[in-house]
Amino acid sequence: MISLKSVSKHYSVDLTAGVSDISLTIEKGQFIAIVGESGSGKSTLLKLIFGTLAPNEGELTFNGEHIPGPHEKLIPGHDSMKMLSQDFNLNLYAKVYENIESMLSNENVQEKKQRSLDMMALLGISELAEKRIVELSGGEQQRVALARAIITRPEVLLLDEPFSQLDAVLKTQFRADLKKLGNDLGITIIMVSHDPVDGLTLADKMFILKDGRLIESGEPVAVYNNPLHIYTARLLGNAFFLPSDEAKLMGIRSKAQHVMIYPEWVQLKSTWASKKYEIEEIFFRGFYEDLLLERKGIRIHAVNTKPGMYKKGQGVQVVIERWLEFD
């Protein structure tokens, strides 16, 4: 439904910045995460899709029709899409329900009221209806902004760093809200986030950007477990990398330059293939421990899901069950 063919956008001040030669498709109802390090072109890509930036080259279509750029429309931004940006764009001194209702036309006042009530109920903010925006917390404001964005039933919701204002608890809640909304309303959601966990937990498909280029894409589980690039592995997980000579000392034979291992691939168990390591440090992480293990001067990490089981300095038998090779 959204299609980009060889799309490039370069900013005149810096011709290396922006995005280059991006081709992709997004299906109706998909939850998409655009992930990449800072400056990789995530926001640029989002604005191109919305139509608030025009490409220098290539073509963008929505349901088969050209996406008009900012110079082709009186009010830039596609009519069937809504962008929820980091500055919530709320009327601070108006009440919550007024902020939400103001998105709808006055043609049918009764329907307008009902839709606004339904939307507040859906997002769990009904009890805030009569409060003014200035009286709300950042997380509550974010929900009102989301209600405003989706009350007009856009086909596509674009989110630029939607969790930036939220603490850990609210973030988890808001993630769940978004996932539910996508499912319940069938909205296509395209989210830009610098936190890979957002993409891994929410997205049906991830697009990985590096230096303005789309270097890989796919379902989160596939991209996480079989990244094509070191960059992606570094971005998505707590992967650690060993040069092949060090990997050899761990019992891993590889012709590639680097071996990449996720801590969860390191198993603490004794088999014919296990090697002895010393627990150099234990980092408590709540429901699990991150163990720093050392063998012949080389350090690796392991996940221990039974905190308290091991002591610092203890020797343990370790099997590295899986690794990936990169040149």
Ligand X SMILES: Nc1ncnc2c1ncn2[C@@H]1O[C@H](COP(=O)(O)OP(=O)(O)OP(=O)(O)O)[C@@H](O)[C@H]1O
**Residues engaged in binding ligand X (CB under 6 A):** 11, 13-14, 17-18, 36, 38-44, 194
What is the dihedral angle through the alpha carbons of 175, 85, 156, 74, rounded to the nearest 10 degrees? 170
- Closer by beta carbon to ligand X, 150 or else 192: 192
The nearest distance, CB 36 to ligand X, in angstroms, is 5
- Closer by beta carbon to ligand X, 38 or else 105: 38
CA 311 vs. chain centroid, Å, equals 36
- Closer by beta carbon to ligand X, 41 or else 263: 41
- Closer by beta carbon to ligand X, 206 or else 260: 206
233 and 239 in contact (C-beta within 8 Å)? yes
The nearest distance, CB 111 to ligand X, in angstroms, is 38
41 and 215 in contact (C-beta within 8 Å)? no
Q: What is the CA radius of gyration of the chain?
A: 24
Q: Give the tokens for residue 303.
A: 């996940």
- Closer by beta carbon to ligand X, 18 or else 51: 18
The nearest distance, CB 44 to ligand X, in angstroms, is 3
Phi, psi (rounded to 5 degrees) for 43: -65, -35
Partners of 65 in the beta sheet?
Answer: 62
The nearest distance, CB 192 to ligand X, in angstroms, is 6
Helix (H, G, I), strand (E, B) or coil at 138: helix
CA 101 vs. chain centroid, Å, equals 30
The nearest distance, CB 253 to ligand X, in angstroms, is 38
The DSSP secondary-structure symbol of 270 reads: -
249 and 268 in contact (C-beta within 8 Å)? no
- Closer by beta carbon to ligand X, 99 or else 193: 193
The nearest distance, CB 40 to ligand X, in angstroms, is 4
- Closer by beta carbon to ligand X, 15 or else 74: 15
Q: In what order do the strands lie in the sheet with 156-160?
A: 81-84, 156-160, 188-193, 31-36, 205-210, 213-218
The nearest distance, CB 196 to ligand X, in angstroms, is 12
- Closer by beta carbon to ligand X, 195 or else 281: 195
Helix (H, G, I), strand (E, B) or coil at 321: coil
The nearest distance, CB 23 to ligand X, in angstroms, is 17
CA 173 vs. chain centroid, Å, equals 15
Tokens 């922006």 sit at which residue? Answer: 18
DSSP per-residue codes, 111-125: HHHHHHHHHHHHTT-
Distance (Å, whole) CA 60 – CA 137: 38
